[in-house]
Structure 1
Amino acid sequence: MIDVNNIKKSYKNFELDLSLKIQAGETVGIVGKNGSGKSTFFKALLDLVTLDQGKISIFGQSNRDLRNEDFEKIGVVFPDMGFNELMTINDISAILDALYHSFDKHDFLKKVQAFDLPTKTAIKTFSTGMRAKLKVLIALSHPSKLLILDEPTAGLDVVARKDILNLIRDFQEREEATVLISSHVSSDIETLCDRLILLHDGKILLEEDTDVILDTYALLKMTEEQFESIEKDYLQYIKKEAYYYKCLTNQKVFYKENYPHLVIDDMTIDGLLATIIEGERL
């Protein structure tokens, strides 16, 4: 589905430097702190930035050669709405009808109605939750095979976030539906994604199946004396706190069996990110 081959994009204080593959039918979470390169990567996929080096292929061809019919297979959600704030949903519906041969106006407006979104009111008056729902509905308004979501649930309350996640899950049910999603909400990644890619300063620090992270990774907490005596072959990152050490391992069972006196916390996405980004690699 997606093949990213040694791409580089340099800015004044930042360089994106990536290689990765994403198979059809996968849902992959792209995580990292602000400025890690997530949005730049998404824009590179859509050929919205000019690369300094490397190639990207989507649907088996260069992303630079994608035709209109190829873009009909891609749904995109960016933080920016992408439409004039004075437009109404009816205005947007007319534009989508002109842009996409496969746009189903009746189905789109039916879903808009189901979410209680006004069709004749300027979108500048919409709340954060209303905007988020509309952006996802627009991305799903044509039969896409690839969904690219940049922080689709940012700033949403629990109810609005649940609605968005249900839309994404419905899309995942489609044959070979592929999703790329970035999110600061770790539970979104844990529940939606097959695989996680951690970006930091434009580079991949970790690429792993989500189930493997949650099942086999752990955070060990120990005193300095314990740290000096422990087997370190299976430790990946260490973070020195004021009075103790935190260590990341992908061999939770080994340490549980051999060091039962240690504090061993099950892994969370937030804990993983903090330890890798703020810690020191062993």
Structure 2
Amino acid sequence: MNDDAIALDHVCKRYGDFTLDVTMRVPKDAITALVGVNGSGKTTAFRIILGLVAPDGGSGTLLGADVTRLPNAVKRRVGAVLAEASFDAVFTGEDVIKQQAAFYPDFDATLCRVLLERFGLPTNKTMGDFSTGMAAKFRTIIAMSHRPEALILDEPTAGLDVVARGELLDLLRAYMETPGRAILVSSHNAKDIESLCDDFYLIDRGHICLHETIDRLRDDYATLILTDEQAATMDRSHILASARMHGAVHVLTDERRYYEENMPGVQIARGDIDGLITVMTMAGESEHETIRERSRS
């Protein structure tokens, strides 16, 4: 039995001088993040998974079905929110509910209305009159209301204040209480990823350059902030990447305790998504290849 809700094996897509090449897995009963800077390939990967863009190579599955030939029966088992997608501006919330109920046999209109009321979203207001934050909440609630087996969410908390973000994250945690479900999510809010997800993939310039669990990120990763002399003389056996920033050398490691013991007094920032993305994005491609080789070994 395949325990992957989503599986991509060297799925490629080329746009001019940009090439996406992604291998990743989203297991059932897990929340996985795809993180990276704008333009790194996250949205393209999401669109390929959903069958909206045909890959140029590789293979992928969504709930066991080939992503290039997704039947409606599989699409009905998936909820999706894409950052650039929106409902027709003249539709009211009630119009969207009726539309969704016509496509999804399991759409729970009662649940949807309860959640919309909980988040202060009127069903008689048109989509064009919704604020950015209101639209973000609305799209996620609609995507969840047919009780899908997989949720694919591109920036679901964009435009939300801290209270609304917390409520939406709690809603996603409640969704995962049903066995066999899975979420693939992207977000520029690192705290959301770290509090919600089990693991993450870091994508940069179209390639996956790191896959790690959130627990190991917290426990073992760190950024060392060094002088040139310290960087030149340090033991680099546990270094993933380095980059010069703000007059210092920032060095990423997945063995924080080793450097705490062997470089006492050195400034060390414990691992987090923001620090990791910053160093990895500014590091050279040769360091990315070294990390990929370590991941394969």
State the 4+ residue runs in structure 1 displaced beyond 3 angstroms: none
Once the two structures are superposed, residues 123-181 of structure 1 have per-residue CA deviations (whole angstroms, 9 ceiling, x without a partner) of 11111221111101110111211000000111221122122212211112121220000
Q: Structure 2 counterpart of 1:267, which letter? A: G
Deviation at 1:122, TM superposition (A): 1.0
Q: Structure 2 counterpart of 1:84, which letter? A: D
* 8 A Cα contact 1:219 1:264, kept in partner: yes
* 8 A Cα contact 2:241 2:251, kept in partner: yes
Q: How many residues were matched structurally?
A: 282
CA 1:87/1:224 → structure 2, altered by over 3 Å: closer, same or farther? same
Once the two structures are superposed, residues 209-230 of structure 1 have per-residue CA deviations (whole angstroms, 9 ceiling, x without a partner) of 1111111011112222222221
- What corresponds to 1:268 in structure 2? 272
- What corresponds to 1:104 in structure 2? 108
Summarize the alignment of residues 120-269 of structure 1 with structure 2, pairs less than 5 Å apart.
120-241=124-245, 243-269=247-273
- What corresponds to 1:63 in structure 2? 67
**In structure 1, C-alpha distance between the alignment counterparts of 2:245 and 2:75, rounded to whole Å:** 48
* 8 A Cα contact 1:238 1:248, kept in partner: yes
SS of residue in 2 equivalent to 1:64:
coil
- Range moving further from structure 2, 118-127 or 60-69: 60-69
Q: Structure 2 counterpart of 1:54, which letter? A: G
CA 1:242/1:97 → structure 2, altered by over 3 Å: closer, same or farther? closer
* 8 A Cα contact 1:26 1:194, kept in partner: yes
CA 1:236/1:119 → structure 2, altered by over 3 Å: closer, same or farther? same
CA 1:241/1:142 → structure 2, altered by over 3 Å: closer, same or farther? closer
Once the two structures are superposed, residues 6-25 of structure 1 have per-residue CA deviations (whole angstroms, 9 ceiling, x without a partner) of 21110113111111222111
**In structure 2, C-alpha distance between the alignment counterparts of 1:193 and 1:211, rounded to whole Å:** 10
Gaps of 5+ in 2: 291-297
Once the two structures are superposed, residues 182-232 of structure 1 have per-residue CA deviations (whole angstroms, 9 ceiling, x without a partner) of 000000110111111011111001111111111101111222222222111
* 8 A Cα contact 2:136 2:159, kept in partner: no
- What corresponds to 1:114 in structure 2? 118
* 8 A Cα contact 2:51 2:69, kept in partner: no
Once the two structures are superposed, residues 83-127 of structure 1 have per-residue CA deviations (whole angstroms, 9 ceiling, x without a partner) of 210110111111111111111112211222222211112111111
Q: TM-score, normalised by structure 1?
A: 0.95
Q: TM-score, normalised by structure 2?
A: 0.91
- What corresponds to 2:7 in structure 1? 3
Gaps of 5+ in 1: none
CA 1:230/1:53 → structure 2, altered by over 3 Å: closer, same or farther? same
Confirm whether residue 17 of structure 1 aligns to residue 21 of structure 2: yes
**In structure 2, C-alpha distance between the alignment counterparts of 1:48 and 1:242, rounded to whole Å:** 41
SS of residue in 1 equivalent to 2:29:
coil
* 8 A Cα contact 2:92 2:127, kept in partner: yes
- Range moving further from structure 2, 191-200 or 170-179: 170-179
- What corresponds to 2:39 in structure 1? 35
SS of residue in 2 equivalent to 1:83:
coil
CA RMSD of aligned residues (A): 1.5
- What corresponds to 1:89 in structure 2? 93
**In structure 1, C-alpha distance between the alignment counterparts of 2:9 and 2:150, rounded to whole Å:** 19
